[in-house]
Amino acid sequence: MFDLSGRTALVTGSGQGIGLAIATALAKAGAQVVLNGRAEARLEAAAATLRGHGADVVLSAFDVTDADAVKAAIDHLESHGTAIDILVNNAGIQRRRPLEDFPVETWHEVMRANLDSVFYVSQAVARHMIERGHGKIINIASVNALLARQTIAPYTASKGAVLNLTKGMCADWAKHGLQINAIGPGYYATPLNKALYEDPVFDDWLRKRTPARRWGKMEDLHGAAVFLASSASDFVNGQILYVDGGLTATV
């Protein structure tokens, strides 16, 4: 039920961090993985690591915020024998600043990376999935889809939109045999959160605030990703699964 052998998974932003962790999990479950990002050297290093563990890896370097580049890349993969069965929309950025001082262009930068990209890649991939009558799309949201903190209002807005876009994709595409769900990670020690986990005050606050009393580890995401990518979740649709140590369950 959780075996992904014979399936191909595209994971955006998978050169490092959560994206690479999810690609690793899917590869261990038997999937061929397509790594995506803009830094080709980073992708090559990630691919070498995965191949060292026996994974079947394809590289596809394209900018997820460029709609034309996305469509061209997906169509190229599909027409050259790499049919995408599983899509993980992980690529994203964080920009921290008080909202009253947040530059307009930076607002748009966050929205392009965190929201527009999910629409662009999902639409391009879903058109092929619909023709085949099956597919899994996993959007990476955040606990900040529900909860806000100072200086990250645009990020919070973008992830809240991803949550609702997930539901919208379900409404449109479930009838075609697609399952579209989201994972809401809590706080993980990733490059995106470097400023936080290196801050002793925030580190202490987070450990006290999270019922599990720790930061998330990359392997904590493996089971959720494999579940939502596999046949085990064939009647799960439009949902968000929080992997957050209980953060969103408590006050």
Task: Determine whether 155 is an active site residue.
Answer: yes
- Phi, psi (degrees; rounded to nearest 5) at 159: -75, -30
Considering the candidates 120, 155, 187, 242, report the single residue annotated as catalytic.
155
Distance CA 65, CA 18 (A): 19
Can you tell me the distance from the alpha carbon of 47 to that of 35, in angstroms, rounded to the nearest whole number? 8
SS3 letters for the chain?
CCCCCCCEEEECCCCCHHHHHHHHHHHHCCCEEEEEECCHHHHHHHHHHHHHCCCCEEEEECCCCCHHHHHHHHHHHHHCCCCCCEEEECCCCCCCCCHHHCCHHHHHHHHHHHHHHHHHHHHHHHHHHHHHCCEEEEEECCHHHCCCCCCCHHHHHHHHHHHHHHHHHHHHHHHHCEEEEEEEECCECCHHHHHHHCCHHHHHHHHHHCCCCCCECHHHHHHHHHHHHCHHHCCCCCCEEEECCCHHHCC
Query: In angstroms, rounded to a whole number, what is the distance separating the alpha carbons of residues 55 and 34?
Result: 11
Distance of CA 98 to the CA centre of its chain: 26
Active site residues: 155
